[in-house]
Amino acid sequence: DQQVKQNSPSLSVQEGRISILNCDYTNSMFDYFLWYKKYPAEGPTFLISISSIKDKNEDGRFTVFLNKSAKHLSLHIVPSQPGDSAVYFCAASEYTSGSRLTFGEGTQLTVNP
């Protein structure tokens, strides 16, 4: 039972344009969501998070949007840079779970110069 889903395995965008990565979840108990970036043979690096009491959180070029009614979140990267090319994982947790994270399958983002 995949509780966190990233339906696009890959995304390709031009440098300078917006990258939009999507994530859907099914567990209504999830109340904290995170995005991680991962390069091959390395551990994930934390990018940005959002609590369920918010619908938007922004940090520099990265913005995460949360639509609780649709159980959907997205990560926007503007402007996209070639160095952003990596696999992006969406993750979710519920307060009572003691920070256990459930990950999506990941989306490979390629930013072309």
Count of residues in contact with other proteins, rule CB under 8 A: 20
Stretch that binds other proteins, among 15-23, 44-52, 58-66, 70-78 (CB under 8 A): 44-52
Residue 31 interacting with other proteins (CB under 8 A)? no
Q: Report how far apart, in Å, the C-alpha atoms of 44 and of each of 39, 77, 87, 89, 107 are.
A: 7, 17, 9, 8, 13
Taking alpha carbons only, the member of 18, 19, 22 closest to residue 9 is 22
Stretch that binds other proteins, among 12-20, 41-49, 54-62, 78-86 (CB under 8 A): 41-49
Taking alpha carbons only, the member of 40, 39, 6 closest to residue 25 is 6
Residue 96 interacting with other proteins (CB under 8 A)? no
Residue 62 interacting with other proteins (CB under 8 A)? no
**Lookup result for tokens 């031009």:** 14
Query: Residues interacting with other proteins, by CB under 8 A?
Result: 4, 34, 36, 41-46, 49, 89, 98-106
